[in-house]
Chain A
Amino acid sequence: MPILQTDGLTKLFGGLSAVDDLDLRVEEGEIMGLIGPNGSGKTTALNLITGFIKPTRGVVTYQGENITGAQPHDLARIGLVRTFQITTLFENLTVRDNVLHGSHLNNPTSLIGSLTRSRKYREQCAVLEEQVQEFLAIVGLDGRIDAVARDLSAGEHRYLEIAVALAARPRMLMLDEPATGLNPEEARFLMDLIRTLRDQGVTVLLVEHNMRLITNICTRITVLNFGAKIAEGTPEEIVGNEDVVTAYLGKRRGA
């Protein structure tokens, strides 16, 4: 059974279909790529799955449960966490506070505990702090813990975004064009990071329009164009697919 599945997922914006009858299957433990040219409906599909917008038609199933139209925060609670296309952080707060806020679902402290600073509360905080350090170590930001988020570089922004998402303990992580704005070296680090997450048991849905980046990390790829699925398969199959090439580069003259 796939961990995530959409059936006939459709979103109409005033008669125009942003996502058109999309059937998506993501298997547990894989890195699934969702690609397509700009404006092909990738981000809309992600917003539909994560509850940020409601679908016109269709069903989203996560771990066998119908989650169509569920609230984003409820989805986070069952392990479905996303990042955003435009890097989204608590920009005015420190790196530590960003990850601590991200730990909301795993923060065991009680209100009484925090008012009295009981021994139990202090112990729980120490554990949280340790976890924050761990998450930051995974994304390579352990040296920047006291920096304010808005002072970070573009690459560091992306890494912190992933650390914040990790703090919510996702079973499935959905990344929306995480490599945008990164230099090749940063992009490579990011891809290694995504592999590491997969190895730790997180299923990844990677939305990207950069084909080269996605082909050497994904196990399977789904290609969208004008909101509809035009191809699905392994990276090798996708690269050789005539429809995909046409969608990206346009029709060859005389063909």
Chain B
Amino acid sequence: MQVRSPLRYWFGVPVLVVALLAPVSLFTNSYNRGLLVLIAIYAVGGLSLDYIMGEMGQFSFGHAAFWGFGAYVSAKLALDLGISPWFGFVAAPVAAGLVGLLIGYIALRRTRGLELAIVTLGFGVLAWTVALRWRPVTGGPSGLRQIPPPSLFGWEIRSEMAYYYFALILLLGVVFILSRMREARFGRAVRSIHENEDLAKSIGVSATKYYVLAFSFACAMVGFSGALYAHHFRFVNPNLLGLQYMFIFLIVVLVGGTGTLWGPVMGSVIFVLVSEWLRALQEYRFLIFGVVLLLVVLFMPSGVYPALQKASGRLRERSDSKGQVFSGGQKHESGGAKGG
């Protein structure tokens, strides 16, 4: 076992307590609780984009398209077929994952890096156009309305508070799965391609196969986040597939820190809260975010979470000189072999 980040113990428990108490203490009206829901939804979306950026070392400009697609799929099923949102929460990631498989198969056999970003951008614009133009199915520019919320034993999860706890549980589930995946054979294969594709191939890792599957997995995850969005805000429109949300996920990942698991969660908290404080500025918010992003890239190039990790490591070393040595540059938080 490798030494675990002290941040996990120092902040993990208090953060969880804050997360659990937030809707009954700090965020008491339903509008503010809605922000908490948004944090959880963006966090899942950010984590999924970070799976492509942090784990695969690639970039997809079409990520929001999968997000919006997941939202539309779940909304459509509930509205047209009367299918329960619970089924939508499964169907949306499956559908997004399948489309991701197709796009990934087309793109990842040949392209990496910048080329992949451009191919996925093309797909994203295409998907957005379809959502905008295919009126009979997508409702055109005004989208779909009155999407039902999920209900549990006959009780609709309609209040912001209930939906927040629901989304929080799912977010923690996603983080849990992602952390376990890193040590799984699949996660190791993906990471080995990211670290060195030629070496990975020479020891028997089929680079294309694992990258296509990993891409599809990330798309499924963001599709799930989209379904969460659809059944909370209860309307969807083509903007969900567009570049605005793409940039939101990108900010969430970059501000929080790529490849860090908790980074995107933190990034989502920062993004939603700061963007709320700047609400009066309307679209000019993105101007401020541009500056914030610039400052983060300049002064905390690996993101806020790793910077905090490093700082907490330094603090710990100072206060406890014979304590465990903290390795701030470690990419894996708990990447050691199990049973070791």
A residues at B contact (CB < 8 Å): 50, 52, 71-74, 76-77, 81-84, 88-94, 96-97, 100-102, 104-105, 107, 109-111, 114-115, 117, 121-123, 125-126, 128-129, 132, 146, 164-165, 167-168
Contacts and interface: CB of A to CB of B under 8 A. Distances in A.
Interface in B322-340: 331-332, 335-340
A104 B195 contact: no
Interface stretch (B32-40, B78-86, B204-212): B204-212
Contacts of B188: 97, 100-101, 104, 107
Interface in B195-221: 195-196, 198-207
B127 interface: no
Contacts of B336: 94, 96-97
Contacts, number: 125
A165 B337 contact: no
Given A100-B188, A129-B340, A82 B202 contact: yes
Interface in B55-86: none
Contacts of A115: 177, 180-181, 184
Interface string B301-340: 0000000000000000000000000000001100111111
Contacts of A90: 191-192, 195-196, 199
B21 to A, nearest CB: 29
A73 B192 CA distance: 13
A185 to B, nearest CB: 26
Interface of B: 2, 177, 180-181, 183-189, 191-192, 195-196, 198-207, 331-332, 335-340
Contacts of A97: 188, 332, 335-337
Given A101-B188, A104-B185, A91 B205 contact: no
A33 B314 CA distance: 52
B202 A72 contact: yes
A140 B277 CA distance: 58
Nearest to A77: B204
A104 B189 contact: yes
B180 A167 contact: no
A122 B205 contact: no
Contacts of B207: 73
A183 B198 CA distance: 27
Contact of B338 (A50, A77, A121, A167): A121
A117 B2 CA distance: 17
A72 B208 CA distance: 12
A102 B203 contact: yes
Nearest to A130: B339
B199 A164 contact: yes
A71 B109 CA distance: 13
Given A50-B202, A84-B198, A114 B181 contact: yes
A94 B2 contact: yes
Contacts of A104: 185, 188-189, 192, 200, 203-205
10 contacts: A52-B201, A73-B202, A81-B204, A89-B199, A90-B195, A94-B2, A101-B188, A101-B195, A114-B185, A128-B339
Contact of A81 (B2, B196, B202): B202
Nearest to A113: B184
Which residue of B180, B181, B339 has the most chain A CB atoms within 10 A of its CB atom?
B339
Contact of B195 (A93, A129, A167): A93
Contact of B185 (A71, A107, A123, A126): A107
A102 B29 CA distance: 53
A128 to B, nearest CB: 7
Given A92-B331, A93-B331, A129-B339, A114 B180 contact: yes
A208 to B, nearest CB: 19
Nearest to B331: A92
A180 B338 CA distance: 35
Can you list the 10 inter-chain pairs with the closest CB atoms, starting with the nearest?
A: A76-B204, A114-B184, A126-B339, A90-B195, A125-B339, A72-B201, A125-B338, A101-B192, A105-B204, A168-B203
A115 B336 CA distance: 15
Contacts of B331: 92-93
Point out which of B198, B332, B336, B340 has the most chain A C-beta atoms below 10 A from its C-beta: B340
B2 A73 contact: no
Given A72-B201, A122-B338, A168-B203, A111 B185 contact: yes
Nearest to B206: A73
